[in-house]
Amino acid sequence: MSQQIDQLVAEYKNTGSLKGLPSKLYIDGNWSDAHNGQTMDTLDPSSGKVFASFSAAQKKDVDLAVEAASSAFHNVWKLTKASRRGEILSRAADLLEQQADRFCVVEALDSGKPLAEAQGDIASSVSALRYYAGCADKIQGDSFPLGEGNYSFSTLEAVGVTAHIIPWNYPLATTIRGVAPALAAGCTAVVKPAEQTPLTALMLAEVLRSAGLPDGVYNVVNGTGAEAGSALVNHPKVQHVTFTGSVDTGVLVMQAAARNITSVTLELGGKSPIVALADCDIEKTAEGVLWAIFYNAGQICSAGSRLVVSCEIHRQLVDKIVEKAAALKPGHSLDNPNFGAINSKAQLDKIAGFIDRARARGIKVACGGNKMHSAETADGWFFEPTIMDDVPMDDELVQEEIFGPVLSVQVVDSLEQAIEAANCTQFALAAGIYTQNISSAMQLSRAIDAGQITVNDYWAGGIEVPFGGNRRSGIGREKGLQALRSYCATKSITFAF
């Protein structure tokens, strides 16, 4: 870790907080308190302690932010040359990269994830800004062959004000994943971060301002989902809502948007399978599955939370993953352990509830299964890396998103059974396949219902690759060129002469 990271870590350990954290709302280029002065606290999941507080917006504040975004859209941003928009985003990428150390310490502290994982998040956020910076002046329409007497063509026009509702597991990366394509397309943005992780979206405001982004183009209204989030997604001047979070809240967001005929991108839950066939490379598969479920302590919508394994290698593979899981060491995010905290006490209790009920049903715990209490975890919220073995298809451990470090193993004895097991939930977000047989890999990739499938490397991918889910995992795609289309409306123009 760098000297600056060491200094920030020392400051936190000595004082219980960090100097200079942003805490206000960011509306129309100004830092302001909530109109009624309301504030909330944010906690450090690794210690369970409050380390900062922040302004919590009410409907009135959200209305101001949307008005600012609307005015900036009509008067400034949609009139700004596309190449200039790209330059600003590109400069923001450079500035974020320069400030990566501070961003990663704050992100690790606020979310509970290990420093190295937060560094990965900031690096991928920089990549996303660069990718969409390069896209801004390449958003092109078509022409249509109506024949003699007409010219007909289309342009892709920015939809207007966009709302971004952000979860707590990837606070900055999810914000930038939505905001970068929106701004590149010429839209303006109002962001509502999660209550648990309000800080890095505010820090991004300063980066964007320094990069030359005009006032009102990017606004941040922290606060509760019920008050600030709901006011934002119900606002008639919002033209697109990008939401990442739970299915239940996704339903509310879609209902609110429906009243205003507002389009939505919904990135919801998952119960993503990893299919391991008998001919897979056991070591590589075990390592892949380990990080598919234990990275960010399993708090990832696309975590590989089910292992669908051929009976021939079931014992060998599960034993290998158990052995690797035993080597994971929890600790405070700023001590950079290889296994981090659960983001909130509520989420920790939710995970523990799943395992307690499974034990009562007689499901075998291959490893883990308990909250952690040790010198390293202190009063933080930690749950052991957990593997539940040979779980029946209709069990809630297979059917429900747990959003924690819990792998459910399903044993199959044919390719057909593997396909049936992979597709047995209401979710269809991601899937991994581990096999040496290209024909089996192709058959599985064709038959599994998911937004993205990887073969022999679960986390393969990048900002270039579209990402999203089918069925209850959501609607629409983020990342890649496809994400830009959510922020554009096609206008066809036809001349007669």
Is there a contact between 184 and 85 (Cβ–Cβ < 8 Å)? yes
- Locate the DSSP E strands across 245-384: 263-267, 272-276, 304-310, 364-367
Residue 61 in contact with Mg ion, rule: CB under 5 A: no
Residues contacting ligand NAI: total by CB under 6 A: 26
- Residue pair 174/158 in contact by the 8 Å Cβ criterion: no
**Quick check: 245 binds ligand NAI (CB under 6 A)?**
yes
Q: Which stretch binds ligand NAI (CB under 6 A): 88-96, 238-246, 433-441, 477-485?
A: 238-246
Contact with Mg ion (CB under 5 A) among 107, 110, 117, 384? 110
Query: Which residues is 489 bridged to in the sheet?
Result: 157
Nearest to 387 by CA among 353, 417, 364, 421: 364
Asked if 112 touches ligand NAI (CB under 6 A), the answer is no
Using the rule CB under 5 A, give the single segment among 53-61, 74-82, 122-130, 190-198 that binds Mg ion.
190-198
Dmax (CA) for the chain in angstroms is 80
Q: What is the Cβ-side half-sphere exposure of residue 262, based on CA atoms within 13 angstroms?
A: 27
Q: Which stretch binds ligand NAI (CB under 6 A): 61-69, 201-209, 242-250, 368-376?
A: 242-250
226 touches, from Mg ion, ligand NAI, none (C-beta below 5 to 8 Å by class): ligand NAI
Residue with Cβ nearer ligand NAI (192 or 320):
192
> Where in the sequence numbering do the catalytic residues fall?
267, 301
Minimum distance, C-beta of residue 109 to Mg ion, in the bound complex (Å):
7
493: number of Cβ within 10 Å: 11
Q: Which residue is nearest to ligand NAI (CB)?
A: 225
* Residue 273 interacts with ligand NAI (CB under 6 A): yes or no: no
Q: Of residues 70, 175, 222, 249, which one binds ligand NAI by CB under 6 A?
A: 249
311-350 footprint of ligand NAI as x/- string (CB under 6 A): ------------------------------------x--x
Which of 46, 196, 249, 410 touches Mg ion by CB under 5 A?
Answer: 196
Which amino acid would we find at residue 234? N
Q: Say how far residue 84 (Cα) sits from the centre of its chain.
A: 28
Element (H, E) at 151: strand 150-158
**Residue 166 binds which one of ligand NAI, Mg ion, none, with CB within 5 to 8 A depending on kind?**
ligand NAI
The Cα 128–Cα 364 span in angstroms is 42
Closest Cα to residue 321, out of 307, 300, 301? 307
Does 358 contact ligand NAI by CB under 6 A? no
42 binds, among Mg ion, ligand NAI, none (CB under 5 to 8 A by kind): Mg ion
Q: Do residues 391 and 363 lie in contact, with contact meaning Cβ atoms separated by under 8 Å? A: yes
- Is the distance from CB of 287 to CB of 274 less than 8 angstroms? no
Is 352 among the residues that bind ligand NAI (CB under 6 A)?
Answer: no
For Mg ion, the closer CB: 115 or 276: 115
Contact call for residue 42 and Mg ion (CB under 5 A): yes
Selection from Mg ion, ligand NAI, none that 110 binds (CB < 5 to 8 A by kind) is: Mg ion
Is residue 192 near ligand NAI by the rule CB under 6 A? yes
Give min distance, CB of 386 to Mg ion, in A. 23
Cβ pair 194, 220 in contact under 8 A: no
x-or-dash pattern for ligand NAI, window 146-165, by CB under 6 A?
Answer: -------------------x
Nearest-CA neighbor of 394 among 360, 426, 355, 350? 426
**Residue 283, CA distances (Å) to 88, 313, 440 in order:** 45, 12, 19
Residue 305 near residue 401, CB atoms below 8 Å? yes
Distances (CA, A) of 143 to 100, 147, 154: 43, 11, 6
Residue 197 or residue 425: which is nearer to Mg ion going by CB?
Answer: 197
CA-wise closest residue to 448 among 277, 299, 311, 327: 277
Which residues make beta-bridge pairs with 291? none
Identified binder of ligand NAI from the candidate list 253, 297, 372, 441, rule CB under 6 A: 253
CA distance 453 to 274: 10
For ligand NAI, which residue of 169, 305, 310, 454 counts as binding (CB under 6 A)?
Answer: 169
* Count of residues of this chain found to bind Mg ion when the rule CB under 5 A is applied: 4
Contact 91, 203 (CB under 8 A): no
With CB under 5 to 8 Å by kind, the binding choice for 167 among Mg ion, ligand NAI, none is ligand NAI
Positions touching ligand NAI (CB under 6 A) are 165-169, 192, 194-195, 225-226, 229-230, 233, 244-246, 249, 252-253, 268-269, 301, 347, 350, 401, 403
* Site for Mg ion, rule CB under 5 A: 42-43, 110, 196
